[in-house]
Amino acid sequence: MAKGIEVPETVIVVASRGWGGGAARPLRELVDRLVAAGAETAVVADAAEAARALVDDEGAVVLIDVDDAARGLTTPALAAARVADIASAVPDAAPVAAAQRPAAALVVACLRAGAVDFVDLGAESFELTAESLSHAARKRARYGAQKRALGQLRTMVEEMLKDLVRTERRSIDLEKQLQQKSARDAGLPSDVEAARDPVVMVVEDDREMADFLCDKLEEQDLTTFAFVTGEEAVAHADLMSTRGQALDLVLVDIGLPGIDGLEVVRRLRKDRPGLAAFLITGFADPSLTARAADLGVVGFVLKPFDDADTLVERVRGEAAAAMARTRDHGYLQRIKARHERVLSQYRLLLADLEK
């Protein structure tokens, strides 16, 4: 390093299209002097290559030649675009722009586009240029320190929220247990959801088939309800909602008399957005598949059943997953109600961190 002159450890130079021509001589001389002063210097052709180098080396600074030396012409808009390409790709880049004898409009455009300084290659001394680059390096180092500090703060806040959720879950579970005990002691029904098996509703117009499916499901510790029409199923589901009773999955025949299987799923989902659904059908129908996908149906069951045990296992898994989602949603809704102020502050902090 030259005595008394501070230069960054690494300088990435984004050269203009005229890098090989005589008009670029001041920039080539600057690169040579930076190398002589101890800076590891690389010349690249475009912003994308510079951005990759900056990401790989947090201590590097970038000098952007905004002269179009190949034509002897540059414009503020073109220059600003070169700077903006770097600033948008690497927000903490702290780029320095450079040109020979730039007009004031060119300098202003580059500074507005994100450059932290502007070097006049035709007038400024090497010492002043080195100081501009060192200033950019210090600024980038501050950006990096702030980014790391904000990342640590975000991690800390997220860990605090996780602790809050764990504590609130234990509190909610205890409240449920106390409420259930009080209800039992008073001889009253409790509307608080206790530990339970998944609940499945079977809607199949063939009563024998409905009973067969329910028997197989109950062998796997599922609670079941069976109906032969969609209207009956929807009416009973509404009654279950008023009583605070759970329903995790519906296994429904698409070709029901009256309202069809898709309409049953649509109506049941009105109060239960997390409800899982399987459709029973006698044939594969692409249009049906598309409509079912829009409703979020998780699977199809083709009649006749080749393997009832595999079907029951699939249904049990989906019902258990839906029950877990419902439980988690209930936890989060209660936690949100209790701590809306804390969560609002967290959202504001998170928005600041992501700027």
pLDDT confidence of residue 96: 95
C-alpha 226/C-alpha 287 separation (Å) is: 27
Write the single-letter amino acid at 284. A
C-alpha 67/C-alpha 272 separation (Å) is: 63
Q: Which of 49-53, 176-180, 201-205 has the highest mean pLDDT?
A: 201-205
pLDDT confidence of residue 273: 80
Contacts of 302 (CB under 8 A, 6+ apart): 281, 282, 283, 284
C-alpha 242/C-alpha 288 separation (Å) is: 32
**What is the pLDDT averaged over residues 109-119?**
93
180 token code pair = 């259930």
250 token code pair = 């519906």
Question: What is the CATH code for 199-338?
Answer: 3.40.50.2300
pLDDT confidence of residue 190: 44
C-alpha 14/C-alpha 230 separation (Å) is: 69
pLDDT confidence of residue 305: 75
CA 94 to chain centre: 27
Residues of each domain in the chain carrying CATH 3.40.50.2300:
10-147, 199-338
**pLDDT tens-digit map of 30-58:** 999 999 999 999 999 888 889 888 888 88
pLDDT confidence of residue 3: 52
Res. 74 pLDDT band, cuts 50 70 90: low
pLDDT at 290 over 90: no
Greater confidence, 200 or 292?
200
Q: 97 pairs with which residues across the strands?
A: 64, 118
10-147 CATH fold: Rossmann fold (3.40.50)
The position carrying tokens 């080749």 is 306
Is the CB of residue 183 less than 8 Å from the CB of residue 189?
yes
C-alpha 350/C-alpha 288 separation (Å) is: 42
pLDDT confidence of residue 157: 73
Helices (H), the chain: 25-36, 47-56, 76-89, 104-113, 126-185, 207-218, 230-242, 261-269, 286-295, 308-338, 340-353
57 token code pair = 């080396």
C-alpha 138/C-alpha 132 separation (Å) is: 10
pTM over 0.75: no
228 token code pair = 């032969």
pLDDT confidence of residue 229: 94
pLDDT at 183 over 60: no
The Cα angle at residue 48 between residues 110 and 21, in degrees rounded to 5 = 70
Angle between helices 126-185 and 308-338 in degrees, nearest 10: 110
